Chain A
C-alpha cells in the first residue's frame, strides 16, 4: 500500500513566495526524506529527517516531522523559477536496516511563475 501521500498534488505560486508541501504516511518510520525530480529525470535527494527529529533546515529548505500525526512538511522559502519540479516524500520503514528500499508518494508538482 502507498506509504507517503503528498498534498497538494499541484501548486503554482509566484517567484519569491514561499511554497509549502505536506506529506502523510501510515506506518512507523526510521526517517523521512524529500526528493526533487525535474521533468523526466532522476530524483535528487534534498533532505533527510530522522524519526527523533522535529525540524531540519538546509539552505532555503525547512522540513518538519510530526510522528504523532504521521506527517511532514517541506517549506521552500523565496522560491525561484529553478525550483519548478516535482517533490516527493519517501519513508524508510521502521525495523528495516536502512537499505530495504524507500516508499514514495505520488508527489507534488510545483510551478514557480516568473
Chain B
C-alpha cells in the first residue's frame, strides 16, 4: 500500500448507471488529483484540488463530477458514461508544493458497457 487507497479496484457499469469512485489518503498531503489512463495514451489530468478547493478542471465532460469534502478524501461521481470512458482512473496526492513527488493509489479499472 502506498498510503493512497482507492475503492473499488474494479467497476463495471452500464451507461445509465450512477457510481462513485473513492480515494483516501492519510499522508498529511493537501493536494489531491484525478488522472485518467487509457491504453496507448499519456495520463490525462482531470481534476486538481488544493486545500479542498478545485484549482484545475481540464475540460472534463460534466458526466464526471468531483467532490473533495476534506483534505483526506476525494470522490469522482460518474453518471451516464460512454464506452470510451472505460479506463484506469488514478488518484494521487502530494504536498501543496509538489516537492517529494506524487503518491498514487492503485487505481480503479472502470469498464462501461
Contacts and interface: CB of A to CB of B under 8 A. Distances in A.
Contacts of A43: 43, 90, 92, 102, 104
Given A42-B4, A106-B42, A98 B99 contact: yes
Interface residues of A, number: 28
Contacts of B42: 2, 4, 103-107
A74 to B, nearest CB: 14
B48 interface: yes
A95 to B, nearest CB: 13
Contacts, number: 84
A104 B101 contact: no
Given A41-B106, A42-B90, A33 B101 contact: yes
A30 B105 CA distance: 24
Contact of A101 (B30, B56, B105, B109): B56
Contacts of A87: none
A98 B102 contact: no
Contacts of A2: 42
B61 to A, nearest CB: 18
A104 B92 CA distance: 13
Contacts of A35: 101-102, 104
A59 B40 CA distance: 30
B109 A99 contact: no
A42 B58 CA distance: 21
A41 B107 contact: yes
A60 B112 CA distance: 41
Given A42-B4, A99-B48, 6 more contacts: A35-B104, A42-B105, A99-B94, A99-B95, A99-B98, A103-B45
Interface of A: 2, 4, 30-31, 33, 35, 40-45, 48, 88, 90, 92, 96-107
Interface of B: 2, 4, 6, 30-31, 33, 35, 40-43, 45, 48, 50, 55-56, 58, 88, 90, 92, 94-107, 109
